[in-house]
């Protein structure tokens, strides 16, 4: 790889119609506990997750903490090894046709904790220049790039380049993390709760910055958050996860106005509202999520679902196309002839199982 | 108002770009005890290094008629030892060997122990188990016993006692290095470095070492005093330096027969060991608190 290659994004292979990132059957089970004598149990952190991110799009992933959002992100970028599943980058299977190292140039990540994700012993400039240097760029060019990027994320290089992370505010540090992620000219940036730890006014500034950078560099985002308002603001499509599985996926407006899965509806009902009349006193769903070590059989949500019936604890629902194009839900109330009393009648033709979202 | 605003801006500019180590140094300079200890140590080290040029008496030249003169005798300010050699000269010259044998094993153990510990902590898994369980074997023996056993097996001599002391100090340093590395490894900036495609060695060098060296270094400084005492103990037992070399531990051994005749002179090498050990300990305490503040 020559020096200048590091500064330009990797070439578009499949054209605009081909998804930039496809995730197929991604699973990760962690072995937990278990001593020399005890039995080891497994946490199904991510279980058979499928989705695609199209070029120039923002895909939001929402869910409670512990639902596998961050594990999914770390699996995609190769920080942890998946147990099963394929990650396909612009039509090329990661690990075979495209190497992990090349994939890591094309996919970068911004972490939630802006302080922990910066090395406290390196200056801002050194932190940003690290990635390009690793990929063979000369130190002086890497530092020039770091200063360029600092300016791009709204920090004056003359003032900030030589500073250390502890001398900066949370919003400034997150801008640095974004600059670091952009230093390798990636095509996909995974934002793992990237704005969640910031206060509201700073969060808005950083979100606007992300939108500007997306336009300027032609980026695609995978935006992971528990904050539905933020996801609605920035995303084109949304995936809802519960206990390591996708329960609903679809275009952002369809999902927010026409949610089909009881869990998604409960999440939406729990959103804080500015309208006093729209505020609810009751919790939309009761209890904590079940222990992911032994997820409930059948539909994983049935223990907390107000509509649960016998079938829900027996069979796992499949993602089924609903309403708007690209909108799919994994719920027995949506799946025809599932055995649930509220299930729609079986359609005459064979039902199409849609991989979400396409 | 505008004046205040201007001043604020100027202060911001002055405050910027001060590294972590510069801050540690500044805080250490404010610690009077640490500064005093550092001064004493520098004085002793300089005296030991420059001993041949200080116009001291010959530390090997004995005299049967001048044996065991008390402290304050003209021409022999700190008296003479059991063979009539000048104590002051022997103490200064003795610092060369004593300091060397106190510092060198810790330095070697610092390099080896940090390497092993950082690798064990960063790689984890089986490599970690292999390194740490091997280290645990050495932990099974008390450090003094281990040093005596290895020295005894290798035979007396400076190099052998250096080797045995190095082996004694590697395990505790590996443990400290492993535990701090394990805690740093889980931080997001290490993941970010991995995500940028850097190899394990690069990440250890650029991102891990800078964050773990401080605590390991402080811990190692605290070992210097232990090492000096152990080395003195080995010499005392006849496993380290051989006579007539001046070395504080060995001097303590040979002067022990004179303890009823001239106890003050006999105590002098012990006092040197005590002062140097205490200074290293207090200095390492000062460094620990100077480095403790997070920002």
**Coil, strand or helix: which one is B119?**
helix
Topology of domain A3-235, CATH: Rossmann fold (3.40.50)
Question: What span, in angstroms and rounded, lies between the C-alpha atoms of A325 and A327?
Answer: 6
**Coil, strand or helix: which one is A251?**
strand
List the domain boundaries for chain A.
3-235, 241-330
Question: What span, in angstroms and rounded, lies between the C-alpha atoms of B136 and B113?
Answer: 13
Compare CB distances from A164 to B20, B189, B196 and report the shortest one's residue. Answer: B20
Question: What span, in angstroms and rounded, lies between the C-alpha atoms of B239 and B95?
Answer: 18
Quick check: A219 and A10 in contact, CB under 8 A?
A: no
Q: Any idea what DSSP says for residue A67?
A: S
Is it the case that residue B215 has pLDDT exceeding 80? yes
Quick check: B177 and B122 in contact, CB under 8 A?
A: no
Compare CB distances from A109 to B195, B202, B206 and report the shortest one's residue. Answer: B195
Q: Stretch A254-266: mean pLDDT, rounded?
A: 88
For tokens 């006999």, what's the residue? B266
Q: How many CB atoms lie within 10 A of CB A102?
A: 17
Q: Taking CB atoms and an 8 Å limit, are B17 and A120 in contact across chains?
A: no
Question: Does B14 contact A at CB distance below 8 Å?
Answer: no
Q: Closest approach of chain B CAs to the CA of A110, in angstroms? A: 8
| Gyration radius from chain A CA atoms | 22
Give the dihedral sign, CA A179/A185/A188/A190.
negative
**Coil, strand or helix: which one is B96?**
helix
Query: Could you tell me which residues come within 8 angstroms of residue B54 by beta carbon, excluding any fewer than 6 positions away?
Result: B47, B92
Q: Stretch A341-353: mean pLDDT, rounded?
A: 64
Lowest mean pLDDT of A106-110, A281-285, A341-345, B211-215, name the range.
A281-285
Residues belonging to chain A: 358
Quick check: A218 and A56 in contact, CB under 8 A?
A: yes
Q: Are strands A84-89 and A188-192 parallel, antiparallel or unpaired?
A: unpaired
Question: What span, in angstroms and rounded, lies between the C-alpha atoms of A329 and B207?
Answer: 44
Of the candidates A169, A172, A177, which has an alpha carbon nearest to the alpha carbon of residue A110? A177
Q: Any idea what DSSP says for residue A198?
A: S
Q: Closest approach of chain A CAs to the CA of B187, in angstroms? A: 6
Q: Residue B125 is encoded by which pair of tokens?
A: 């898994």
Question: What span, in angstroms and rounded, lies between the C-alpha atoms of B232 and B210?
Answer: 34
Q: Residue A8 is encoded by which pair of tokens?
A: 């330009």
Between A155 and A291, whose confidence is greater?
Answer: A155
Q: Helix B125-139 and helix B87-123: axis angle, to 10°?
A: 150
Q: Residue B70 is encoded by which pair of tokens?
A: 């008390």
Reported pTM: 0.80
Residue A104 is predicted with a pLDDT of 83
Question: Does A177 contact B at CB distance below 8 Å?
Answer: yes
- How confident is the model over A116-156, as pLDDT tens digits? 999 888 889 999 999 999 988 888 899 999 999 999 999 99
Question: Does A134 contact B at CB distance below 8 Å?
Answer: yes
Residue B114 is predicted with a pLDDT of 95
Residue B51 is predicted with a pLDDT of 77
Quick check: A126 and A147 in contact, CB under 8 A?
A: no
Average pLDDT, chain B: 83
Contacts for A345-351: CB closer than 8 Å, 24+ residues apart: A351/A320
Q: Residue A317 is encoded by which pair of tokens?
A: 């629902």
Is it the case that residue B249 has pLDDT exceeding 70? yes
pLDDT band at A66; cut points 50, 70, 90 = confident
Question: DSSP characters for A125-157?
Answer: HHHHHHHHHHTT--HHHHHHHHHHHHHHTT--H
Domains and CATH numbers, chain B: 2-292 (1.10.3720.10)
For tokens 């001599």, what's the residue? B157
Q: Taking CB atoms and an 8 Å limit, are B191 and A180 in contact across chains?
A: no
**Coil, strand or helix: which one is A83?**
coil
End-to-end CA distance of chain B: 30
Question: What span, in angstroms and rounded, lies between the C-alpha atoms of B97 and B231?
Answer: 10
- How confident is the model over A40-56, as pLDDT tens digits? 777 888 888 999 999 99
Q: Residue A253 is encoded by which pair of tokens?
A: 């407006």
Angle (CA) A338 A351 A323, round 5°: 85
Question: Does B189 contact A at CB distance below 8 Å?
Answer: yes
Average pLDDT, chain A: 84
Q: Taking CB atoms and an 8 Å limit, are A130 and B294 in contact across chains?
A: no
Q: Closest approach of chain B CAs to the CA of A72, in angstroms? A: 14
Question: Does B90 contact A at CB distance below 8 Å?
Answer: no
Residue B16 is predicted with a pLDDT of 43
Quick check: B166 and B110 in contact, CB under 8 A?
A: no
- How confident is the model over A114-124, as pLDDT tens digits? 889 998 888 89
Question: What span, in angstroms and rounded, lies between the C-alpha atoms of A177 and A189?
Answer: 11
Chain A residues with CB under 8 Å of B189 CB are 116-119, 127
- How confident is the model over B223-238, as pLDDT tens digits? 888 888 888 888 878 8
- How confident is the model over B163-198, as pLDDT tens digits? 999 999 999 999 999 999 999 998 999 999 998 888
Quick check: A212 and A49 in contact, CB under 8 A?
A: no
Is it the case that residue B80 has pLDDT exceeding 50? yes
Q: Taking CB atoms and an 8 Å limit, are B211 and A118 in contact across chains?
A: no
- The phi-psi region of residue A75 (left if phi > 0; otherwise alpha if psi is between -120 and 50; otherwise beta) is alpha
Question: What span, in angstroms and rounded, lies between the C-alpha atoms of B26 and A313?
Answer: 65
Query: Could you tell me which residues come within 8 angstroms of residue A311 by beta carbon, excluding any fewer than 6 positions away?
Result: A298, A332, A338, A339, A340
Q: Closest approach of chain B CAs to the CA of A271, in angstroms? A: 29
For tokens 């054209």, what's the residue? A15
Q: Are strands A245-251 and A237-242 parallel, antiparallel or unpaired?
A: antiparallel
Question: What span, in angstroms and rounded, lies between the C-alpha atoms of A195 and A198?
Answer: 6
Of the candidates A153, A147, A145, which has an alpha carbon nearest to the alpha carbon of residue A214? A153
Give the HSE-up count for residue B210: Cα atoms under 13 Å, Cβ half-sphere.
Answer: 16
Q: Taking CB atoms and an 8 Å limit, are B191 and A164 in contact across chains?
A: no
Q: How many CB atoms lie within 10 A of CB B271?
A: 13
Q: Residue B19 is encoded by which pair of tokens?
A: 């590294």
Phi, psi of B255 (to 5 degrees): -80, -10
Strands of the A245-251 sheet, one edge to the other? A107-110, A188-192, A220-225, A58-62, A237-242, A245-251, A328-330, A319-321
Specify which residues A238 forms β-bridges with.
A60, A250
- How confident is the model over B87-136, as pLDDT tens digits? 888 888 888 888 898 899 999 999 999 999 999 999 988 999 999 999 99
Question: Does A307 contact B at CB distance below 8 Å?
Answer: no
Q: Any idea what DSSP says for residue A160?
A: H
Q: Taking CB atoms and an 8 Å limit, are A117 and B191 in contact across chains?
A: yes
Quick check: B158 and A66 in contact, CB under 8 A?
A: no
Between A191 and A271, whose confidence is greater?
Answer: A191
């Amino acid at each position: 790889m020559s020096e200048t290659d590091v500064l330009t994004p990797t070439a578009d292979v499949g054209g605009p119609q081909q998804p930039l990132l496809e995730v197929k059957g991604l699973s990760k089970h962690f072995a937990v506990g278990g001593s020399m004598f005890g039995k080891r149990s497994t946490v199904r952190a991510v279980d058979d997750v499928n989705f695609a991110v199209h070029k120039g799009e923002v895909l939001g992933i929402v869910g409670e903490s512990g639902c596998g959002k961050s594990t999914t992100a770390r699996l995609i970028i190769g920080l942890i090894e998946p147990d099963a599943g394929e990650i396909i980058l612009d039509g090329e299977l990661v690990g075979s046709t495209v190497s992990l190292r090349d994939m890591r140039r094309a996919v970068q990540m911004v972490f939630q904790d802006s302080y922990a994700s910066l090395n406290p012993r390196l200056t801002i400039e050194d932190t940003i220049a690290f990635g390009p240097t690793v990929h063979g760029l000369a130190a002086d060019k890497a530092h020039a790039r770091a200063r360029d990027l600092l300016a791009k994320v709204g920090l004056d290089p003359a003032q900030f380049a030589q500073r250390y992370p502890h001398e900066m505010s949370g919003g400034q540090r997150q801008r640095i993390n974004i600059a670091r992620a952009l230093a390798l000219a990636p095509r996909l940036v995974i934002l793992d709760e990237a704005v969640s730890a910031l206060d509201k006014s700073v969060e808005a500034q950083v979100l606007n910055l992300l939108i500007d950078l997306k336009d300027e560099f032609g980026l695609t985002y995978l935006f992971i958050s528990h904050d539905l308002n933020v996801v609605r603001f920035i995303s084109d499509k949304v995936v809802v996860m519960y206990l390591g599985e996708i329960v609903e996926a679809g275009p952002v407006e369809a999902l927010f106005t026409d949610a089909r899965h009881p869990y998604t509806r409960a999440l939406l009902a729990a959103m804080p509202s500015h309208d006093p009349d729209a505020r609810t006193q009751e919790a939309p769903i009761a209890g904590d999520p079940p222990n992911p070590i032994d997820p409930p059989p059948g539909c994983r949500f049935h223990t907390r679902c107000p509509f649960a019936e016998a079938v829900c604890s027996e069979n796992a629902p499949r993602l089924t196309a609903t309403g708007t194009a690209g909108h799919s839900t994994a719920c027995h109330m949506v799946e025809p002839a599932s055995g649930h009393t509220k299930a729609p009648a079986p359609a005459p033709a064979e039902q199409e199982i849609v991989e979400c979202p396409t | 108002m505008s004046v205040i605003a201007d001043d604020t801006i100027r202060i911001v500019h002055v405050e910027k770009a001060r590294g972590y180590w510069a801050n540690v140094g500044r805080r250490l300079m404010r610690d009077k005890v640490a500064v005093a200890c550092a001064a004493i140590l520098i004085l002793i080290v300089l005296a030991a290094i420059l001993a041949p040029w200080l116009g001291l008496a010959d530390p090997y030249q004995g005299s049967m008629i001048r044996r065991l003169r008390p402290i304050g005798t003209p021409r022999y300010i700190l008296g003479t030892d059991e063979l009539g050699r000048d104590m002051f000269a022997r103490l200064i010259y003795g610092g060369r060997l004593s300091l060397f044998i106190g510092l060198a094993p810790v330095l070697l153990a610092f390099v080896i122990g940090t390497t092993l510990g950082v690798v064990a902590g960063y790689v984890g898994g089986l490599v970690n188990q292999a390194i740490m369980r091997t280290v645990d074997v050495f932990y099974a023996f008390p450090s003094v016993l281990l040093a005596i056993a290895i020295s005894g097996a290798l035979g007396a001599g400076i190099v052998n006692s250096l080797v045995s002391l190095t082996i004694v100090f590697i395990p505790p340093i590996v443990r400290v290095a492993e535990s701090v590395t394990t805690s740093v490894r889980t931080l997001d900036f290490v993941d970010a470095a991995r995500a940028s495609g850097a190899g394990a060695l690069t990440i250890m060098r650029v991102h891990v070492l800078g964050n773990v060296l401080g605590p390991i270094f402080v811990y190692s400084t605290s070992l210097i005093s232990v090492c000096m005492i152990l080395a003195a103990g080995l010499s005392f037992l006849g496993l380290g330096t051989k006579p007539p070399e001046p070395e504080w531990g060995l001097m303590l051994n040979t002067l022990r027969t004179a303890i009823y005749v001239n106890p003050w002179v006999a105590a002098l090498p012990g006092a040197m060991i005590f002062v140097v050990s205490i200074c290293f300990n207090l200095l390492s305490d000062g460094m620990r608190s100077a480095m403790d503040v997070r920002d």
